[in-house]
């Protein structure tokens, strides 16, 4: 029996432990996000509800019974809601005209509308304060002359909640425009064709077919505008603060200016933004996303182009007028302000043109150092981010390893978290209290940028890899190439345009970032966004305008480089 049982024992299959390196990659990414994103947010929540290690709502009671904070909360909700409605009302017809009609100059207008998406919102705030300043605002001076108004102020005032809503709308409607445009490109045109064949006019087809089918994307775009407007700091600080129109973000920064004494109160206000963002993210990515299939066809589609007929010229003229008012005039205002000696005089008045402000900004060490810091931090965040993005794209599209969607969810959560909340959480936890001290370092700023903007690059790379058939990689490996060689020789070249686009999409918002930088900077880590805001508020609006226009030129230059690198596939 012993001789018979021995072979039977050896014949039993032996289970071998196999360590998959993909698990290690996932664990590293998840560990990074847990330490620098999830833990700071959870700790901030804990401190808000357990200020003295005992559950208490005293922080919220004290904060929101204070009239200024309650007013800031109301202003935030009103401004965000109004911006959401106005931005969506603007975005849908513009997206339809650019994507579904034969309007003149569609490609040009699409690029123009998206340009403001990649320009810092505080640049728009600076421009509109020059245009609608009660005393010397260009538009107000023009209107007083046109309407023969005998007054030194008005008739419009930018330093109101209405003025703030206007500026927020002009710089955040592109978020809805991009969301709606992408959905329109994927929409199955067969129902629209059926309506047209049945005798419906183009406008009736839009109202009865296109609009209902686009409802999920409209809601998603609207919610994105709402959360961006509610968590914005630059525009409220430049437009709202001078008129005592406070918002939650401006109050958080004010409390942080008090040092350690103000952190608890800042936390109480930040929790409101965090909870609001999480609710909206859930509605947008879970509830609304389930209905997105209604608009998408299972086959390759080519949307119908509506012939505007005799309205083609008038429609193009109206869109051109809108573009001039909302985009061209503000940018020109920034440029002209940067070359004025006296802000109260016209550019073409005697001896009022000067280039000294441009000379000064390039001659100041603090500005040059902040520019170098911005480029360095943004490049570091973009490079690390695109490596993570490529890794995540491979894990999501080429493997079935369990847990691969966990970092994807965490990255999405970070993107939807307001900037000031991310910064505040890092300040509270990365100060050595828990064994990691990154306070006042470049590392804490790069990490904050990664958490906020990583998804912009990841979505681009994931989308590109999903379009590359796995058989190409399998053929390479079957020919003897290893996994890494296949990645660098086959996959990377095929999706290089998307990798380049993803890198730039992370780099650009990091380059001009203001909200997080205002809370995280130190003497050695000042960046161009903070310096621009500081110069506009305290030093020289002309020099700030020169910096702002310089940022605009950088964005345009990067757009040109990206277009060339990707052979026209991508542009900002």
What's the average model confidence in pLDDT over 525-538?
A: 88
Tokens of 513: 């970032």
Q: What confidence tens digit (pLDDT) does each residue in 23-38 have?
A: 788 888 889 999 999 9
Whether residue 483 is predicted with pLDDT greater than 70 in this model: the reply is no
Q: Go through 186-195 and write b for each residue having 16 or more CB atoms within 10 A of its CB, e for each that does not.
A: ebbbebbeeb
Please count the other Cβ atoms lying within 10 Å of the Cβ belonging to residue 83: 29
Exposed (0-12), middle (13-18) or buried (19+): which is 61, by Cβ within 10 Å?
Answer: exposed
**Residue 1's pLDDT is what?**
45
What's the Cα-to-Cα distance from 185 to each of 27, 210, 308, 435, 505, rounded to whole Å? 37, 12, 19, 49, 21
What's the average model confidence in pLDDT over 555-570?
A: 72
Tokens of 407: 């970092």
What's the average model confidence in pLDDT over 252-266?
A: 83
Dihedral, 254, 258, 263, 267 alpha carbons, nearest 10: -20
Contact 226, 80 (CB under 8 A): yes
Where do we find the tokens 């310089």? 550
Q: What confidence tens digit (pLDDT) does each residue in 107-166 have?
A: 888 888 877 777 888 888 888 998 888 887 888 888 888 888 877 777 888 999 999 999
Q: What confidence tens digit (pLDDT) does each residue in 181-214 have?
A: 877 766 666 666 676 777 666 677 777 777 777 7
**Residue 322's pLDDT is what?**
92
3-class DSSP state of 416: helix
Q: Go through 366-386 and write b for each residue having 16 or more CB atoms within 10 A of its CB, e for each that does not.
A: ebebbbebbbebbbbbbebbb
Residue 568: pLDDT band with limits 50, 70, 90: low
Tokens of 336: 């002209």
CA dist 18 and 257 (Å) reads 53
Tell which residue, 187, 186, 209, 185, has the closest CA to residue 197: 209
Q: What confidence tens digit (pLDDT) does each residue in 413-458 have?
A: 888 888 899 999 999 999 888 889 998 899 999 999 999 999 888 8
Say what the pTM is: 0.84
Strand partners for 353: 340
Residue 294: pLDDT band with limits 50, 70, 90: very low
Whether residue 16 is predicted with pLDDT greater than 80 in this model: the reply is no
Whether residue 293 is predicted with pLDDT greater than 50 in this model: the reply is no
What phi and psi, each to the nearest 5 degrees, are found at residue 521? Answer: -70, 155
Total residue length of the chain: 572
Q: What confidence tens digit (pLDDT) does each residue in 368-424 have?
A: 999 999 999 999 999 999 999 888 888 887 777 777 788 888 888 888 888 899 999
CA dist 221 and 425 (Å) reads 27
Q: Max alpha carbon distance in the chain (Å)?
A: 117
3-class DSSP state of 415: helix
Whether residue 276 is predicted with pLDDT greater than 60 in this model: the reply is yes
Tokens of 496: 């290089």
What's the Cα-to-Cα distance from 189 to each of 194, 289, 302, rounded to whole Å? 9, 20, 7
Please count the other Cβ atoms lying within 10 Å of the Cβ belonging to residue 558: 17
CA dist 532 and 508 (Å) reads 16
């Amino acid at each position: 029996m012993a001789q018979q049982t021995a072979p039977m024992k050896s014949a039993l299959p032996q289970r071998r432990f196999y360590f998959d390196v993909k698990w290690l990659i996932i664990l590293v990414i998840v560990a990074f996000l847990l330490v620098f994103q999830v833990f700071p947010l959870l700790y901030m929540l804990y401190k808000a509800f357990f200020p003295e290690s005992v559950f208490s709502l005293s922080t919220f009671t004290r904060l929101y019974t204070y009239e200024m904070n309650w007013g800031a909360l109301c202003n935030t909700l009103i401004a965000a809601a109004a911006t959401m409605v106005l931005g969506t009302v603007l975005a849908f017809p513009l997206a339809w005209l650019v994507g579904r009609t034969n309007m003149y100059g569609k490609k040009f207008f699409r690029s123009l509308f998206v340009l403001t998406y990649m320009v810092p919102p505080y640049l728009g705030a600076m421009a509109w304060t020059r245009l609608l300043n009660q005393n010397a605002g260009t538009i107000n001076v023009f209107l007083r002359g046109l309407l023969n108004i005998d007054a030194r102020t008005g008739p419009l005032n930018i330093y109101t909640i209405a003025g703030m809503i206007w500026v927020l709308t002009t710089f955040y409607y592109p978020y809805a425009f991009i969301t709606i445009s992408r959905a329109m490109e994927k929409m199955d045109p067969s129902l629209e064709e059926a309506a047209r064949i049945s005798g419906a006019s183009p406008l009736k087809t839009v109202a009865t077919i296109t609009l209902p089918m686009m409802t999920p994307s409209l809601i998603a775009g609207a919610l994105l505008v709402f959360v961006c407007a509610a968590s914005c700091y630059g525009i409220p600080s430049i437009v709202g603060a001078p008129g005592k129109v406070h918002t939650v973000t401006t109050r958080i920064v004010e409390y942080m200016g008090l040092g350690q004494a103000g952190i608890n109160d800042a936390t109480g206000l930040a929790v409101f933004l965090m909870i609001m963002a999480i609710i909206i993210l859930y509605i947008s990515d879970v509830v609304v996303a389930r209905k997105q299939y209604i608009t998408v066809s299972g086959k390759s589609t080519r949307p119908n182009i509506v012939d505007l007929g005799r309205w083609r010229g008038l429609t193009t003229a109206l869109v051109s007028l809108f573009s001039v008012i909302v985009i061209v005039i503000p940018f020109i205002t920034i440029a002209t302000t940067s070359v004025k000696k006296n802000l109260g005089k016209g550019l073409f008045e005697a001896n009022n043109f000067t280039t000294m402000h441009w000379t000064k900004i390039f001659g100041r060490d603090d500005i040059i150092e902040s520019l170098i810091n911005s480029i360095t931090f943004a490049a570091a965040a973009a490079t690390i981010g695109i490596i993570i993005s490529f890794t995540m794209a491979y894990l999501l599209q080429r493997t079935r390893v369990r847990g691969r969607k966990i970092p994807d969810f965490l990255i999405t959560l970070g993107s939807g978290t307001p900037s000031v909340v991310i910064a505040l959480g890092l300040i509270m936890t990365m100060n050595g209290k828990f064994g990691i001290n990154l306070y006042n370092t470049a590392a804490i700023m790069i990490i904050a940028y990664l958490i906020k903007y990583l998804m912009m690059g990841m979505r681009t790379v994931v989308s590109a890899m999903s379009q590359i058939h796995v058989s190409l990689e399998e053929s390479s490996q079957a020919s003897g190439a290893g996994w890494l060689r296949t990645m660098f020789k086959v996959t990377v070249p095929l999706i290089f345009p998307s990798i380049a686009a993803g890198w730039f999409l992370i780099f650009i918002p990091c380059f001009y970032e203001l909200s997080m930088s205002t809370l995280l900077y130190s003497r050695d880590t000042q960046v161009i966004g903070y310096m621009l805001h500081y110069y506009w508020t305290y030093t020289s609006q002309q020099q700030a305008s020169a910096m702002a226009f310089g940022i605009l030129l950088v964005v345009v230059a990067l757009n040109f480089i990206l277009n060339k690198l990707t052979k026209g596939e991508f542009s900002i």
